[in-house]
Each structure stands twice: as structure tokens, then as C-alpha cells.
Amino acid sequence: MPQLNEYRMAGLAKRITPRVSNLVLRGSRSQRAIRLLEIYLGILQGKGAASAWSREGEAIAVSRAISAREPVVLDIGAAIGDWSELTSAYVARPARFILVEPSPVNWPKLERLRIDGCVELVRGACSAEEGTGSLKGAFAGAGSASLFDRRDSFIGDARASVFEVPLTTVSRIASDYGLHTIDFLKVDVEGAELDVFRGAAPLFGDRRIKALSFEFGSGQVNSRAFFRDFWDLLTGHGFELSCIAPGGRLIALTAYDEGYEYFRGVTNFLGILR
């Protein structure tokens, strides 16, 4: 009687919870140990693991999602190009990488990237609409720079460097660069990920984006976006979503779950068009 056993176990757990809670939360040191264990168990499931816990695992998962012989990869929020460089090594064939980066400090580094294939640079930021926006960061070229005011505890208030940047959209880039198909779209823009996807709406509607990845976490505290918003938008366009765990293992998401409304650090998600 598995259900009966589970019911009894749940009842027992509820009865002993007050005593156990009082025991483990007796001192500040034990509270911190419990908190660190909670964070680490989340990371093992991919939650918060995008905070530099397994860059190689992400590249492995992404490379498996790129099936085209000469793929087109659009890297939104390229920073210094480390994601594109590592992904290119795992794709292991010539690819066309189009890198979108708003910070002038990072442009020379991107222009010197060693990638098997073609590298093109879009100097600006991506959003839902074209125009201008303010990029705010702790310093010029900061990877945590955002179009939103950062007040999350993971980064803190970071406004030492603020400057205006041109805004474009994924749809405009596809038009300007003659992209009929985007084989992989990577989005890492510190809270503006949902806006980037909204700016790709015509391409989603025409099924021209075949696979994608995005970060979700502390940046969304500032943009007031929920994982539910990403789930509804992307599954509505035919994408199957997975969470990328350390080592590149994928955890398939078969239904929306509030457990992925996880705002500590950032979590990487992969989407593949059915």
C-alpha cells in the first residue's frame, strides 16, 4: 500500500517537525549550515548552477541541441565571448556566431575571438523594441550590467557605470543579417531575457528559432518577471524546456512547477522546438 505508507510518513514528519526545527535552528551557526546545504542541494538540481558552477556542462548541453551542419548561433549578452568560445569548441564544426554586446569595453575582446567559423559583432543591447536604454553596472564591461536597476541581494546596487546604449531586437537582427533560421539563440541579459524573447515574437511564430537557452534568477527580481511568463511564452510556441544541471545533464520539465521560481543566483534553461 504505497499511498498509505506515504500518508503515514507525511503524518509522522508533520508531528516531529516542530521539535526538529527547534533543534536545527538553535544557533546562528546551525542556521547557516542548513542554508548552505539548501543552496547546494538546489545547485545539484541545476537551480542557481549557472552562477559559474558548471560552464562546461552548459556548453555540452547546448552543443547537443545544435544539429545543423553549419549552424547560426546568436549570442545575446556576449560579454567577453567566453560562452561562444566554449560552445564553439563543443560544436566542433564551422558555425556563424553573431554576438550582441552593448559594452564598448568588451568589443575589442570579441573582435579577437578564436572560433571555427564566422564571428560578427552587433554593438548594442537586445530588448522587446528598438530604441535606447541605460545600461547599469558595477564597472564598465561588467558581466552583471543590466538595463534594470539591480537591487537583488545576489549582486546588490550596481550603478557605478551608467551609459546609454542602442536597443535592437532579435527580429531586427535576423532581418539585417539575412538569417532565415537561428539554430541556437542564447540569452543572458541580467533580467531582460523575457523582453528579448518578446522582441523575437515574429520568428517564434514562423518557427525560425530551433533551440535556445536563457538564464532565470536574481535578475528577474528587478524586471518583475516570473518563470511562469517564460513557460507560457515558450511552450506556447512549441518549445520543450529543460533545466541544465551541472555536468550537462538535462532535467525535462513536463509541466510548470513553482519550484523553478528560484531567484538565488541564476539557473540555465534549454528549449528545443518540437
Same domain, 207 and 259: yes
- What DSSP letter does each residue of 22-58 carry, written as one string? HHHTSSHHHHHHHHHHHHHHHHHTTTTTTTTT-HHHH
Which CATH number do you get for residue 106? 3.40.50.150
Kindly state whether residue 108 falls inside one of the protein's structural domains.
yes
Read off the pLDDT of residues 204-263 as tens digits, 9 standing for 90 and up.
999 999 999 999 999 999 999 999 999 999 999 999 999 999 999 999 999 999 999 999
Same domain, 24 and 62: no
Residue 71: left (phi > 0), alpha (psi -120 to 50), or beta? beta
**pLDDT at residue number 22:** 79
Same domain, 37 and 100: no
Q: In angstroms, what is the C-alpha Rg of the chain?
A: 20
d(CA 266, CA 242): 14
DSSP helix/strand/coil, 158: coil
**pLDDT at residue number 129:** 97
Q: Say if residue 133's pLDDT is above 70.
A: yes
Read off the pLDDT of residues 99-131 as tens digits, 9 standing for 90 and up.
999 999 999 999 999 898 899 999 999 999 999
**pLDDT at residue number 143:** 82
Banded model confidence at residue 134, pLDDT cuts 50, 70, 90: very high
**pLDDT at residue number 23:** 75
Average pLDDT, the chain: 92
**pLDDT at residue number 51:** 78
Same domain, 33 and 59: no
Kindly state whether residue 82 falls inside one of the protein's structural domains.
yes
Same domain, 72 and 170: yes
pLDDT above 70 coverage of the chain, percent: 98
DSSP 155: T
Kindly state whether residue 171 falls inside one of the protein's structural domains.
yes
Read off the pLDDT of residues 3-61 as tens digits, 9 standing for 90 and up.
668 888 888 888 888 887 777 777 777 888 888 888 899 899 999 988 778 889 999 99
DSSP helix/strand/coil, 207: coil
In the chain, % helix, strand, coil (3-state, to 5) comes to 40, 25, 35
**pLDDT at residue number 153:** 81
Q: How many domains does the chain have?
A: 2
Same domain, 264 and 243: yes
Same domain, 102 and 74: yes
DSSP 260: G
Same domain, 67 and 6: no
Of 51-60, 88-97, 152-161, minimum mean pLDDT range: 152-161
Distances in Å between the Cα of 150 and the Cα atoms of 63, 75, 157, 217 are 31, 22, 5, 12
Helix 82-91 to helix 55-65 angle (10° resolution) is 50
**pLDDT at residue number 4:** 62
**pLDDT at residue number 2:** 57
Same domain, 206 and 263: yes
In the chain, beta strands by DSSP E: 72-76, 95-101, 117-123, 125-126, 131-137, 161-168, 184-187, 211-217, 239-244, 250-252, 266-273
**pLDDT at residue number 174:** 98
Kindly state whether residue 138 falls inside one of the protein's structural domains.
no
Distances in Å between the Cα of 227 and the Cα atoms of 31, 47, 214, 234, 268 are 28, 12, 11, 11, 12
**pLDDT at residue number 232:** 98
Give me the domain span that covers residue 63. Answer: 55-127+166-273
Banded model confidence at residue 137, pLDDT cuts 50, 70, 90: confident
Q: Say if residue 167's pLDDT is above 80.
A: yes
Kindly state whether residue 173 falls inside one of the protein's structural domains.
yes
